[in-house]
Amino acid sequence: MRVLARLAGVALLGLVTALPARAESLADTMVAAYRHSALIEQNRAVLRAADEDVAAAVAALRPVVEWVAQYGATRDEGSTTRRSTSLSIDASLTLYDFGRSQLAIDGAKETVLATRQALVAIEQQVLLDAALAYFNVREAIQQVALQQNSVEVLTRERQAAQDRFDVGEITVTDVALADAQLAETRASLAAANGDLEVQREAYLAATGKLPGTLSAPPPLPKLPANLNEARAIAQRSHPSVLQAQRQAAAAEIGVAAAAAERNPTLSGTASVGVSRQPQTVLNGNYGSTNSASVGLRLDQTIYSGGRLSASHRKAMAERDQARSSLLNTSRQVSQSVGETWANIAVARAQITAIAQQISAAQQAYDGVREEALLGARTTLDVLDAEQSLLQARADRITAESNLQLAHYQLLAAMGLLTVENLKLGIPTYDPSQYYNAVRNAPATSKQGESLDRVLRAIGRN
């Protein structure tokens, strides 16, 4: 039984070893890019900083409590030095500021929502870069295989030319032409191998690992029925448009906040303390005095040298800027959708035309090669026909890669190239978790404590 068990284990190990490695799909590439991206992590930190702005705005409506310790020494001419000490706890609270603090909170919230959309835009760019790296590596591999095959074909052609020269059917010029074409194709193969290495490095930068065996791309994603529908989806879904809308809303709130700076502020104060000072100038004895006070303060700026007016005008200019930015972003997104839609149509037309070109070039090459064997064509004719066929096949590889990439570029232009929309099946970052933990301005939070530990670990706190 032990021998049988040992043999079964060896057989199982051999079976596992013999199994081919799993090919990496486009979805695998995108998942790796999403998990590896330092750019996404950077912008998540930017979003957390924006979340803290909401907490800071909320904290402005809460009391401020502080302790104050004072020490003083006084000496009049002809008398001894008098020293005094005091310790107090002071508290102040803004009771009513005619909406300024609430406007600050609302503006900070709009900024958070805008920053969330910026994070979605970064996610789209990371996934699009991953798709580009994936298709470029596949295209480079196919170009290398095509050039290798061409080198093999031309090597046989060159040998055939040499054989025909040996029997006196062709001249040394024909052999030289075959040598030149073979050398050119070997140079193209070297260039293709170099481009493959470049694309592998781009893949490494996008995903954090070098590409293994890449599987065939999935079926092309379904597109809207027409260009107008694609543009309508982009205006509703593209993160850049949504970000610009939130920024315009924040700018509107900024105008109201700047106008509210002219309003008065009602605040309350409270203080308790103890002081120690000499009872008389002559005996130098000290006594302690306890004190407590409360008060109300109403203040309003009457004149600030034009600062408030300048702030108001600046806020209105920034509002106009945000409105124009929204319009410009909307137009750019619409243009991007139109361009990618056209690229898809062009790539499809190219593939159809190139397929016909390849068929004709193959037929021409076969015919010229047969005619050359009969002496009706020269070696140069054969090499030209072979080069035309090679170029057509290379163009088809590029056109097919462009068609696949253009579909994902269109998804990005419509704002749909996200982990959630692509259904990649991995957990995604929830921006509301950190926001919900800090929006009420707690003195500390679990997320904040974890972030502090990370910052201390990397020496940035």
Q: Are 87 and 5 in contact, with CB atoms under 8 Å apart?
A: no
What is the model's pLDDT at position 76? 76
Q: Are 356 and 282 in contact, with CB atoms under 8 Å apart?
A: no
Rounded Cα distance between 280 and 82, Å, is 9
What is the model's pLDDT at position 8? 47
Rounded Cα distance between 130 and 411, Å, is 14
Q: How confident is the model at residue 252 (pLDDT cuts 50, 70, 90)?
A: very high
What is the model's pLDDT at position 248? 96
Q: Are 131 and 221 in contact, with CB atoms under 8 Å apart?
A: no
Rounded Cα distance between 383 and 394, Å, is 16
What is the model's pLDDT at position 23? 82
pLDDT at 287 over 80: no
DSSP letters, 59-77, are: HTTS-EEEEEEEEEEEE-T
What is the model's pLDDT at position 437? 87
pLDDT in tens, 162-173: 888 888 878 888
> Could you give the dihedral angle defined by the CA atoms of residues 156, 158, 159 and 160, in that order, rounded to the nearest 10 degrees?
90
Percent of the chain past pLDDT 90, that is, above it, reads 51
What phi, psi does 213 have (nearest 5°)? -80, 120
CA proximity to 424, closest of 71, 115, 25, 114: 25
What is the model's pLDDT at position 4? 45
What is the model's pLDDT at position 244? 96
Q: Are 144 and 456 in contact, with CB atoms under 8 Å apart?
A: no
What is the model's pLDDT at position 7? 45
DSSP secondary structure code for residue 213 in this structure = P
What is the model's pLDDT at position 116? 95
Bridge partner list, 73: 83
CA proximity to 70, closest of 270, 268, 277: 277
Q: Which domains does the chain have, with CATH numbers?
A: 24-62+99-263+307-424 (1.20.1600.10), 63-96+265-299 (2.20.200), 430-461 (no CATH)
Q: How confident is the model at residue 115 (pLDDT cuts 50, 70, 90)?
A: very high
Residues 6+ apart with CB under 8 A from 93: 62, 63, 64, 267, 268, 269
pLDDT at 181 over 50: yes
Instruction: Count Cβ atoms below 10 Å from residue 461 Cβ, excluding itself.
Output: 10
- Angle among Cα 327, 331, 334 to the nearest 5 degrees reads 140
Percent of the chain past pLDDT 70, that is, above it, reads 89
Q: How confident is the model at residue 278 (pLDDT cuts 50, 70, 90)?
A: low
pTM of the predicted protein model: 0.84
Amino acid at 387: Q
pLDDT in tens, 64-81: 899 999 888 887 777 777
pLDDT in tens, 398-420: 899 999 999 999 999 999 999 99
What is the model's pLDDT at position 170? 81
Mean pLDDT of 250-267: 92
What is the model's pLDDT at position 452? 67
What is the model's pLDDT at position 385? 85
What is the model's pLDDT at position 378? 76
What is the model's pLDDT at position 3? 46
pLDDT at 271 over 50: yes
Choice between 438 and 75, residue whose per-residue pLDDT is larger: 438
